[in-house]
Structure formats: structure tokens, C-alpha cells
Amino acid sequence: MVADYVSTISRTEVKKLQIDLTVNGTIESHNVEARTLLVHYLRDNCGLTGTNVGCDSSSCGACTVHLDGEAVKSCTIFAAQVDGQSVTTIEGMAEADGTLHPMQEAFHANHGLQCGYCTPGMVMAATSLLKEIPDANEQQVREGLEGNLCRCTGYHNIVKSILACSEGGEK
């Protein structure tokens, strides 16, 4: 019985597609099923586990990455949809020599993280926000973080961190 079951599974092997992405400036090419989500492509195929899966239903923002420079939720995009495009993950934010991105530095300086699970998504959402509104004020930062949840409820210092990087925020 078990053998029959196993052979049934192996017969229904799903066709794979070659998906090429530029991830943090490096060309990645992997054969994956069409149903592979971008977040799993990044974590399982590229080995970049900084991008987290939180709610897995496009609410919490822990999976936020940049797609061609804009924040998106990688749990709600099939890798096949973005074949050939450019993705930046949290691993691509610091300099090659380890110097932190100013936003990472601000989170560090302002205690912008507690457990840290939401942090990669917060940093990616925040940098995308400041690219669109370089002088974002507190209201704009809070609204810009609508798509990111912090279960530690550490929003105050997250907002403070982002304002430290904003041209319109308190220094």
C-alpha cells in the first residue's frame, strides 16, 4: 500500500521552470515549480534566510523585500512572475565590508528592534518609504508602515529609527 502511494506521488512530478533573478546584485538561476513563492525562492534556493515568513498571508510584512527598488511582500508573489527582475533582501543592505546601511545603523542606535523577527521587513519597508518620501514626518512614517506588524509592539522606537534617517525627522 505504502509503495503504491509513493509511486503515485513520483508519477505526478510537477514540471519545473527556470527562474533567473538578480538578487543583491548576484545572478541567481534555479529550477523551481511554478507555485514557488518568491520568499521560498529566496530562502530555500538562494539560502538567504534574512527574509522571514510571518503571517504568510500578506498582512505582517516580515517577508518584505525590494523588487526593482520598491517594497513588496515576497509571500504573495510567485517567483515566476518576477523572472528576470532585480530583488534586494536585507542581506544586500550592508556594504561588502560589513558597514551597516544607515537605516540598519539607525535601528541599532535607537533600539528599533526587540525580538528582531519583523526587523528585516521593517528595514526594507522603511528604506522604500524614504525613497518615495525622503523628508517623511512622523505621520507619514506611521502610515508608511501600515503593512508591517511588530508583535513586540515596539513601534515607537521603530518610528524613531526611521525618523532619524528622514530629512524631515528629528536628528
Partner 1 sequence: MIPVAFEYERAESSEHALSLLVEHGDEAKLIAGGHSLVPLMKFRLAAPSVLVDIGRLTELSYVRDAGDHLAIGALTRHFDVEHDALVRSQCGLLAQATSQVGDPQVRHRGTIGGSVAHGDPASDVPSALLALRATMIITGPDGEREVAADDFFTGFLETAVSETELLTEIRVPKVPNAGWSFQKFNRRAQDWAIVGASVLVDGVNVGVGLVNMDSRPVRASAVEDAVRDGASAADASAHAADDRDAPSDLNANADFRAHLARVLVRRGLEASGQH
Nearer to partner 1, 48 or 149 (CB): 149
Pick one of 114, 147, 152, 157: the residue that binds partner 1 (CB under 8 A): 147
| Stretch 101-140 residues interacting with partner 1 (CB under 8 A) | 125, 128-129
Instruction: Give how many residues touch partner 1 by CB under 8 A.
Output: 32
Rg of the chain over all Cα atoms, to the nearest angstrom: 18
For residues 42 and 69, what is the distance between their CA atoms, to the nearest angstrom?
Answer: 16
For residues 81 and 147, what is the distance between their CA atoms, to the nearest angstrom?
Answer: 21
Nearer to partner 1, 57 or 97 (CB): 57
| Stretch 27-46 residues interacting with partner 1 (CB under 8 A) | 33-35, 37
CB 77 within 8 A of CB 37: yes
Cβ neighbours of 34 (radius 10 Å)? 13
64 binds partner 1 (CB under 8 A): yes
Cα 97 to Cα 3, 17, 54, 108, 135, distances in angstroms: 52, 35, 30, 18, 28
156 binds partner 1 (CB under 8 A): no
CB 142 within 8 A of CB 167: no
56 binds partner 1 (CB under 8 A): yes
CB 130 within 8 A of CB 162: yes
72 binds partner 1 (CB under 8 A): yes
Judged by CB under 8 A, the stretch of 22-30, 44-52, 61-69, 162-170 that binds partner 1 is 61-69
Residues near partner 1, by CB under 8 A = 14-15, 17, 33-35, 37, 56-59, 61, 64, 67, 70-73, 76-78, 80-81, 83, 125, 128-129, 143-144, 146-148
